[in-house]
Structure 1
Amino acid sequence: MNFVFVGTSLGARGTETHLVCMVRALARAGHEVLTVARPEGYIARELAASGLAIEPGIFRNAADVRGARGVLRALRKVKADWLVGSFGHEYWPLLTLGKLTGTPVALFRHLNSRLKPMSRALLPRWADRFIAVSESMRSNLAEQGVASERVSLLYNPLDVEYFRPDAGLRDASRRALGVNEDALLVGFVGALKPEKGVFRLAAAFNQAMPRSPRLRALWVGEEASHPRLREAISPELQERHVLKGWTGDMRPLYAAMDVAVVPSEWLEPFGRVSIEAQASGVPVLASRIGGLPETLLEGETGLLLPPGDEAAWRDALVTVADMPPERRRAMGEAGMRFVRERFSTERIVEEFIDLLRTPPGREN
């Protein structure tokens, strides 16, 4: 198949990562893909680094003609079978351009934010495929009044050859972080904001660390929020916490972890950190909210906990610190197998192609 993907966002978060991963995987599978992206943005840089074609274009808003021109140029170049979008402000322009050119349009929905009434009524009907990235999101859309038969499910893909266990990297990373092998390193990756559960998690560490001397914490997030996070950590425990800024390569930090935590308190659409950590052989503690429960096998690859419950998170931190190392290793190995079987790019691309070939509402 021939595809034109559109992603002119300047961001570098989950939606952008999903687009880059899908484009790379489709190209590896032998499909022709041209992506309309901002030349200075993350998407363009990542795809160009992989030797993939970029057509410059910008949608600052739905009426930005520069984006429309870029999409039309791309559609002419590849004679696309599908036009694919992921960002809300690009939905309506892509639907309009799809109608004008006779190109089917597939739209991914990555956020659980409420759609406007007109969008709820028309987007899933006008798009040839309207795709949610978790069953939780599908249910959320149905609760908003979106016709469930018009919403397909396709999980986020992960490059499991990129994220994988590496014993040598683990040793080097822990040395660089100043964490000895006897310590139990628990890692958080994400925005250092209340809705991500960061400050209640810090409170849980304040209670768990005195009970478990081996416990150490690694926080990866925006450096501007580090001072506020430091204020939430008990003064006598500060040296047991390591704070790091964003990095373009998370593999060394996942390799250093013994356990990863995703303590979100808002309706997460999916849980990319959860599957990245498990693919790296790391068990996960995650909130039972949104799409997070779909990203692990409870009791086998990790544990699910009540969001915002400091006592439950405190007890879980103590539990994993006291857990026999072979038990944590077994959970990590089970997580690696689970992610490879469920979320690998190869599997998701196959499911995507099958979905596009199946009439809406008739998917399994």
Structure 2
Amino acid sequence: MRVLALETEASGTRGGQEHSLFDVCVGLAGRGHAVTLAYVDEGDLVARYQAAGVQTVRVRGYAIDRAHPLRSAAAVAVSLVRALGTRPDVVYINQYHDTLFASAVARLLHVPLVCHLRLFPPSEFCGQWRIGLSGVSRFIAVSEATRVAYIERGFDPRSIDLVVNGIDVERFRPLDTRAATRESLGLAPDTYALLYIGRIDRGKDIEGLLRAFAAMRPSVRDARLLVAGRPLNHGGPAAAAAYLRDVEELARSLGIGDDVRWLGPRSDAVELYNAADVCVLPSRHPETFGRVLAEAMACGVPGIGTALGGVPEVLVGEASRFIVPPEDVGALAAKLKELADWRVRDPALGTRLRAIVVEHFDARRMAQAVTTVLERTVAEGTIRRGPQLGSPRAVAGAAAAR
């Protein structure tokens, strides 16, 4: 099977979505399928794709930009020619944003299109997305919460397969690098180290995490909060930089400025997890999955997440006690305090948490399930099961009718 996968920025510093696509493509290639990745912007994952046997082709863009219609249209045309030249049996995309371009490729080549749903649906699908979604043959949801969200927006339940997200449990594992990484970060051996890793965006509630850390701090002799990542969704570099300054100033105003380390984007996530004692995902907006929590637990580190979206599907079994209400500073502070001495009080906890991830969230199982969906879709031909979305009012009416 020849697969064309689309990516915008092949970078491991953006978030979990890019890592998940990498795991799927590498899994497909490892099963003997010919995978080509088309990407717009260079990133650190390009070399890793190539090393894993995935062909790569750089394109110039997937969508028409209203601010620069002629230039962006020319870029799309060049990208279309390059994508058509890969001659796939199926087009596979990682987000609904790319459906217009992907559906054009799929229709011109008379092949099916599969869209992985890794983000919750927006309040309104723009015109380009509505047209593109109608050309999708099948959808894959990363969690039951994600699947339900799209069904509630009027998508046919029969068109959405559930494939629970997975991670590379051979890469994300306990390492003997803990002491060296902590020394490089300026952490003493007995410092209680909390880790946030991801986008520094408003929906992640970094502010709530800072306040919870400040509330917990007097009860722990020595603690540090590590924040790894960069601001992304702020409407431009100036707004992103301003937001980062705001949260840094908040830390100072809370009296914890010296105890918070702003690490910026990092490519050594595995080492950071192993250096930390707890990983926190304090989102105030729903996550479709909560990949960082699974990664942390695979490394033998507890993960705390909020009771939204797909996070409760990750923190299962014993890990369910690490779920806290969103935007509840007191509850988060109490959970941080509770876990401060887990390495002494319950040293086997990390092993048990890793076992949960290996059992439920192994990327090899995910890649096999995605492969099965793609093969079945190819066998079914060019049936288009995507929703025929009209105006936002019509979409709302269709969802209500269900």
TM-score strictly above 0.5: yes
Partner Cα distance (1:41, 1:242) in 2: 25
The 5 Å alignment of 1:238-277 reads 238-277=257-296
CA drift of 1:120 comes to: 8.6
Residue 299 of structure 1 deviates from its aligned partner by 3.3
Equivalent residue number for residue 362 of structure 2: 344
- In structure 1, distance between residues paired with 2:10 and 2:368: 28
| 1:162 partnered with 2:171 | yes
Which is further off, 112-121 or 346-355?
A: 112-121
Structure 1 unaligned runs (5+)? none
**Equivalent residue, structure 1, for 2:351:** 333
Could you list the per-position Cα deviations for residues 73-106 of structure 1 after superposition, in whole angstroms to 9, with x for gaps in the alignment?
011xxxx332111233421222232122221211
* Residues 1:67 and 1:121: Cα distance change in structure 2 (over 3 Å): closer
Q: Distance in 2 between matches of 1:172 and 1:147?
A: 51
2:249 to 212, 215, 231: 231
Identify the residue that residue 294 of structure 1 maps to in structure 2.
313
Q: Provide structure 2 residue ranges, at least 5 long, that are not aligned to the other structure.
A: 65-72, 232-240, 386-402
Letter in 2 for 1:181: P
Q: Tell me, in whole angstroms, the C-alpha distance in 1 between the residues paired with 2:41 and 2:215.
A: 47
Whether 1:186 aligns to 2:186 is: no
Q: Which runs of 4+ in 1 moved over 4 A?
A: 117-125, 223-226, 357-361
Describe the superposition over 1:231-285 as per-residue Cα deviations: whole angstroms up to 9, x where unpaired: 2225643333222111122122111111100000012122121111111111111
Q: Does 1:91 align with 2:99?
A: yes
Shift in CA distance, 302/21, structure 1 to aligned 2, threshold 3 Å:
farther
TM-score when normalising by structure 1? 0.88
Question: Helix, strand or coil for the counterpart of 1:7?
Answer: strand
Alpha carbons 1:59, 1:90 under 8 Å: kept: no
Counterpart secondary structure, 1:218: strand
1:304-323 equivalences under 5 Å are 304-323=323-342
Higher mean Cα deviation, 332-341 or 122-131? 122-131
Check 1:51–1:357 CA distance in 2 against 1; reply closer, same or farther (3 A cut). Answer: closer
What's the counterpart of residue 23 of structure 2? 21
Distance 1:324 1:35 in 2: 42
Q: 1:72 matched to which residue of 2?
A: 84
Change (3 A) 1:265 1:298: farther
Q: Say which of 210, 213, 216 aligns to 1:202.
A: 210
The aligned amino acid for 1:156 is N
Q: Give the alignment partner of residue 175 of structure 1, picking from 175, 183, 192.
A: 183
Residues 53-77 of structure 1: per-residue CA shift (max 9 Å, x gap):
11232224155112211111011xx
Cα offset, 1:175, TM superposition: 1.3
Per-residue CA shift, 1:171-190, capped at 9, x if unaligned? 11111122222222111112
CA deviation vs aligned residue, 1:292-341 (integer Å, no higher than 9, x gap):
111222533761000100111111111111446342x4332122122222
Contact 1:8 1:41 in 2 (8 A): no
The worse-fitting range, judged by mean Cα deviation, of 254-263 and 173-182 is 173-182
Distance 2:126 2:41 in 1: 34
Partner of 1:57: 59
State the identity as a percent.
27
Counterpart code for 1:254: Y
Structure 1: which amino acid aligns with 2:340? Answer: A
SS at match of 1:347: helix
Aligned to 1:6: 6
Q: How far does the alpha carbon of each residue in 1:153-177 deviate from its partner, in whole angstroms, 9 at most, with x for none? A: 22333111111101x2001111112
Judge conservation of contact 2:203–2:283 (CA < 8 Å) in 1.
yes
CA distance in 2, matches of 1:238, 1:39: 35
What amino acid is aligned across from residue 215 of structure 2 in structure 1?
Q
CA contact (8 A) 1:7 1:86 kept: yes
Q: Distance in 1 between matches of 2:195 and 2:229?
A: 11
Deviation at 1:9, TM superposition (A): 3.9
| 2:34 maps to 1:32 | yes
Q: Would the alpha carbon gap of residues 207 and 119 (structure 1) be closer, same or farther in structure 2, given more than 3 Å must change?
A: same
Q: Which has the higher contact order (CA 8 A, sep 6+)?
A: 2
Question: Compared with structure 1, are the counterparts of its residues 112 and 357 closer, same or farther at alpha carbon in structure 2 (3 Å cutoff)?
Answer: same
The 1-side partners of 2:188 and 2:145 are apart by 39
Aligned twin of 1:215 = 223
For residues 170 and 324 of structure 1, do their structure 2 counterparts lie closer, same or farther at Cα, with a shift above 3 Å needed? Answer: closer
Q: Which moved more, 1:297-306 or 1:250-259?
A: 297-306
188-197 or 202-211, which moves further after superposition? 188-197
- The CA distance in 1 between the partners of 2:170 and 2:318, in whole Å, is 25
